[in-house]
Amino acid sequence: MSTYEKHTAWRLFGRSVLQGLIAGILLGGAFIAGYLYHARFSRPTATTDYSLLQEAEALLERHFLYDLPPQEKLVYGAAAGMVAALNDPYTYFAEPQTAELDKNNLDGSFGGVGAEIGVDEQGRYVIAQVYADNPAEAAGLKAGDIILAVDGTEVHASSIDMNGLLAAIRGPVGEPVELTLQRGEEVFTVEIVRAEVLLPSVFARVLEEDPRVGYIQITRFTNRTASEMREAISDLRRQGVEAYVLDLRHNGGGLVNAAVDVVSEFLDGGVVLYETRQGGEERTFSASRGGAATEEPLVVLVNRGTASASEIVAGALQDRERAVLVGEQTFGKGSVQLILTLSDSSSLHVTTAEWYTPNRHRLQDQGLTPDIPVESDEDGQAALSAALEYLNSELAVAEVSDGAR
């Protein structure tokens, strides 16, 4: 099975977990947030009168038929509701558990067992994938194992959400976690010592359809993406590739600095994006010089799930005439979120700026128009075939040019 097919299979499998979330945008809670800053701040003084909120809480305590949740949950609900009143889907409040998972995903590493979790058709949590060379593999876990309990506490999708389960399984490196699993009719318990788990974001291979072309897929932009990209290009070059396909389909974004670093591998300096803030303040992000693949023919695959940081990459390469875009109109998420950590480790994601491409095209609510439009198909091959057709013509021109010298 190809890398793209594996990714597609797991993406389809994960839809049962992510059902109801905004597709491609809130994946993992905050994958596509413009994670430009990460600041801590003391409680600010507020001028708003919250007596009405206290009055409502008192009336709930007096009249609500059932048990009220802990006060902490009421406070979190109030904070989330206040932020929701801004009517900006990218400005939101994240409880501590979710905030920690967001940070792990953007860091690209965390303390855990090295297994992907999913939900089966019966609503049971299962091991969806076991990462190679990680504790879960060493403990004998297999895809399809049903998770019955974590540290003796029963878990089910109806009683604990995915974030709660992940938080229970993840933890400090070197500390054990006990999983009770079911495989077929067998029920067994394993103790696994957590290790640092690295979440790969770049997958690369030489295309069987044309060994002159290297295929690179980026699933998210994390702190590790740039180094993974350099390693992928180096490996593909050793295998003799002469052109590249960069697949950003279903990539909801991530860290803006990682996006700029990826562009730097394909551009030799110059503008990558402009960022505008309140009051018209503008900041320019530029590519570094000395990229690993600045001249080879390049195609970028995009679709409706291409958003945020991935639109930065695609937009820069298109505007700078370094690559052609093949696929569908992208999502159109061009706002920047400032991530502020609150006193209890919850976080506030606040829209604070917008991104523009080198030609000052506004990404927000507009997205990018592909140079070669191709409708998505089930296995993703239509866009890849169109990309190969374009690259074949480019490589043919290059061969004629070299022969004429």
Q: What residues are labeled active site?
A: 308, 319, 333
**Residue 66 burial (10 A CB sphere; 0-12, 13-18, 19+):** exposed
Structure tokens that stand for 367 in this block: 């997205």
Q: What single-letter amino acid sits at 189? A: T
CB proximity list for 219: less than 8 A, separation 6 or greater: 7, 200, 201, 202, 203, 250, 251
Structure tokens that stand for 361 in this block: 């095209």
Distances (CA, A) of 236 to 3, 231, 242: 15, 9, 9
Helix (H) or strand (E) holding 258: helix 256-264
Rounded to whole angstroms, the Cα distance separating 258 from 263 reads 9
Q: Is 214 left (phi over 0), alpha (psi -120 to 50) or beta?
A: beta
Distances (CA, A) of 359 to 148, 335, 377: 53, 17, 31
**By three-state DSSP, how is residue 301 classified?**
strand
Q: Where are the beta strands (DSSP E) in 219-359?
A: 243-247, 271-277, 282-286, 298-302, 324-327, 335-341, 347-356
Rounded to whole angstroms, the Cα distance separating 76 from 80 reads 6
Are the beta carbons of 35 and 256 closer than 8 angstroms? yes
Rounded to whole angstroms, the Cα distance separating 330 from 346 reads 31
Structure tokens that stand for 326 in this block: 């093949």
Rounded to whole angstroms, the Cα distance separating 104 from 199 reads 9
CA 151 to chain centre: 29
